[in-house]
Amino acid sequence: MKINDVTLTIREGMVVWPGEPEVDLHRVKKLEEGANANVTYMGFAVHTGTHVDAPRHFIADGNSVDLLDLNMLIGEVTVVEIPQDVDHISAAVIARSGLAVGTERVLFKTRNSNYWVENRGDFQPGFVGITEDGAQALVKLGVKLVGIDYLSIAPYKMSRPTHLVLLKEKMVVIEGLDLSKVKPGKYTLYCLPLKLANADGAPARVILVEG
């Protein structure tokens, strides 16, 4: 059995979505200063790093992240590699991907993964995302969980249409994956977002298990 950790490390200075708070991660109690124990404070938006979107992210009365079905967050997943020259994952791109009807969970590995390899600290607006018609194609295939290797499932400044298609179907959305060291194929997914009451998303530890 091989465990692939596809989670970004949350750290100060990491890339965040434009307009969202920078990561604040520092010790507020220190052994070297006489404290009984080290204690670290963390402050950042729930959509920082590798995270899960809940329907409430774009739907006012949608479920919050603490109400997501854990059965969908654990199970067989297909990693699909999208060619490096693809700018958007459209319905046509999905049709060429070989995804079968009835596939429940899919993660898209795109050229976005190069950003993590290159350790790009600045936001990349040209990242690859799923278009509205691409999202509709996933719904027709019966997909219940979809993930991608940058901070949004949708292309930059086109967030709402894609998210609404997916989240209205109560599809689980995982964003900010690091798939740079993962080959296309089938794995067992374990994705456990923090159980945050009434939140529209949450950071998650995500692993893909082989064998």
Catalytic center residues: 57
Other residues' Cβ atoms within 10 Å of the Cβ of residue 16: 18
Residue spans of alpha helices (H) in the chain? 70-73, 91-96, 113-117, 132-141, 159-168
What's the CA gap between 77 and 145, in Å, rounded? Answer: 9
CA dihedral 104, 108, 109, 113 (to 10 degrees): -120
Which tokens in the block code for residue 145? Answer: 């969980």
Cα(193)–Cα(51) distance, rounded to whole angstroms?
Answer: 7
